Amino acid sequence: MSISESTVVRPFDCPDTCSLNVRMNQGTIVSIDGNPDHLMYPLRRCREVAGLA
C-alpha cells in the first residue's frame, strides 16, 4: 500500500478557494481534508468537496 498526499485548490468556481490535502492510495482518493496551513480557511472544506470522498 502506497499512500501519497497532495495539497490542491478546490476546482469549483467559488470565492473561498479552499485549500485541501488529498490522500491517495495507488491513484484512488481515500480522503480529502482541509489544509491546516491555509491562511483564510484552515481545516475547512465545503459540502460539495465533502461529498467527493
Q: Return the domain boundaries, the chain.
A: 3-50
pLDDT the model gives residue 4 = 93
Q: Tell me the whole-structure pTM to 2 decimals.
A: 0.66
CATH architecture classification, 3-50:
Single Sheet (2.20)
Close Cβ partners of 4 (under 8 Å, ≥ 6 residues apart): 23, 24
* 10-41 pLDDT, tens digit each: 766 666 677 888 999 998 989 888 888 877 66
Q: Write the CA distances from 49 to 2, 12, 26, integer angstroms.
A: 23, 9, 21
33, three cell numbers: 481534508
Residue 5 reports pLDDT greater than 60: yes
